[in-house]
Amino acid sequence: MAAPSGTRAEHVYNELRSDTLAGRWYPGQRLPFEELCTRYDASVGVMREALQRLAEQGLVLVEPNRGFRVMPVSEDDLRHLTEARLEIETLTLKLAVEQGSLDWEGQVMAAHHRLERTPMTDPNERHGFSSDWVAAHHAFHNTMLEGCENLRLRSIAMALRDSFEIYRHWSLAVGRTKDRDVIAEHRRLLDRVLARDPEGAAAALRSHIELTKSLWLEGAPKDDDAPKATATKRRRRSSKTSAPKRD
C-alpha cells in the first residue's frame, strides 16, 4: 500500500534537506528538477513543495525562470550570518537555561547522548558527515533552544542555524576534523546548560559558532572549489563516454 501523500512529501523533504546539510549537494549547485524527481522518487508537486520549504529556511535559492540551486556561500554572508547568530541564538539559549523545565533537561541530555554516540562519518556514504550524525547534531542544538518560552525567538534562531549548516559542513569537511574537538565543544555546552549557567552556556555557544566561522574562512577557497571541479570532471567524462562514434 502506498504511503499517504503527506507522509511521502515529508520523507522527500527530509532526505533532500539531509543531503543538502551534509554537503552532498554543494553550495551554489543547481538542482535539476527532473534529476531530483528521479533521484528521490518524487512527483513534481512533492519535489516543488520540498524545495520551497528549503528556500524558506535559507538553504535553497529560487531563481525566477531558472529554477532552484543550493544557497551559495560567501565571506560577507558568513560574517553577517554569524553576527546574527551570536546575537539571537545566544540570547535564546540563555533564556532556555533560565526557563527550561526538568523534562527539558532530560531531553537535552538524551539528545546529547545520541549525538555523542553517533559516528560522524559513514563509510557507506560518499563524503561529508553521516546522515545520522547530521540529524543528531540538529536535534541536540534545537532541543537546547526549545527551553526558551519565546516561540518567535526560537523560530528565528533555528532558521539562522539552518542557514549556517552549509558553512558548518565545509568548515568540518572530512580530513579537517583534527582542527577542533567537536565532542568536547558539545560536552562543554551540555555542562553549562545542566549547571543552569546562562552566561556560561552562551559563552560556550559563542565559541562554538565563531570557531566554525574561522575554520571556514581559512579553508573557503579550497572547500568551495573542490566539489565544483569534481562535478565538472564527471560531466566531461560522461559526455565523452556517451558521445556517438564517428566513422
Query: In sequence order, what DSSP letters do the residues of 204-216 get, joined into one string?
Result: HHHHHHHHHHHHH
Mean model confidence pLDDT for the chain: 82
Q: Which CATH class is domain 5-72?
A: mainly alpha
Averaging pLDDT over each range in 29-33, 60-64, 185-189, 239-243, which range is the top one? Answer: 185-189
The model's pLDDT over 162-207, given as tens digits with 9 standing for 90+, comes to: 888 778 776 655 445 556 788 999 999 999 999 999 999 999 999 9
Q: What residues does 70 pair with on adjacent strands?
A: 60
What stretches of 172-197 show up as alpha helix (H) in DSSP? 182-194
Choice among 26-30, 83-87, 115-119, 224-228 with the minimum mean pLDDT: 224-228
To which H or E segment does residue 61 belong? strand 60-63
Please give the average per-residue pLDDT across 117-139, as a whole number.
80
Q: What is the C-alpha to C-alpha distance for residues 201 and 247, in angstroms, rounded to an integer?
A: 71
Q: What is the CATH number of domain 75-222?
A: 1.20.120.530
Q: Give the count of beta carbons closer than 10 Å to the beta carbon of residue 38.
A: 11
pLDDT surpassing 80 at residue 239: no
Q: Where does CATH 1.10.10.10 sit in the chain?
A: 5-72
Taking 90 as the threshold, does the pLDDT of residue 39 lie above it?
yes
pLDDT for 234 equals: 37
Whole-Å CA distances, 175 to 19, 172, 229: 19, 8, 18
Which pTM was predicted? Answer: 0.73
The ranges of the chain annotated as CATH 1.20.120.530 are: 75-222
pLDDT at 233: 35
